[in-house]
Amino acid sequence: MTRIAVIGGTGYAGRHIVSEAVDRGHTVVSVARNIAAERVAGATYVEGTLLDVPRLIGELEGVEVVVVSVPARGELVGVLNAAVAELEVHLAADVRFGVVGGAGGSLVSADGPRLVDTDFPEDFKPEALEAIAVLEHLQALESARDWFFVHPAASFGSFNPGARTGSYRDGGEVLVVDKSGNSFISGEDLAVAVVDEIESPKHSRERFTVGY
pLDDT over threshold 90, residue 57 = yes
Q: What is the mean pLDDT of residues 18-45?
A: 95
Paired residues of 32 in beta bridges: 47
Residue 192: per-residue pLDDT = 98
pLDDT at 164 over 90: yes
Domain count, the chain: 1
Say if CB 141 and CB 91 are below 8 A apart: no
Q: What is the mean pLDDT of residues 33-42?
A: 90
- Higher pLDDT residue, 206 or 73? 206
What is the per-residue pLDDT for 37? 85
As a whole number, mean pLDDT of residues 114-141 equals 96
Domain that holds residue 192: 3-211
Flag whether pLDDT at 156 surpasses 90.
yes
pLDDT digits (tens, 9 = 90+) for 76-124: 889 999 999 999 999 999 999 999 999 999 999 999 999 999 999 999 9
Is the Cβ–Cβ distance between 204 and 146 less than 8 Å? Answer: yes
CATH code: domain of residue 95: 3.40.50.720
At 131, is the pLDDT very low, low, confident or very high (cuts 50, 70, 90)? Answer: very high
- Among 185, 40, 19, 108, smallest CA distance to 117 is for 108
Would the pTM of this model clear 0.85, i.e. be above it?
Answer: yes
**pLDDT above 90: residue 72:** no
Res 193 pLDDT > 90: yes
pLDDT at 36: 84
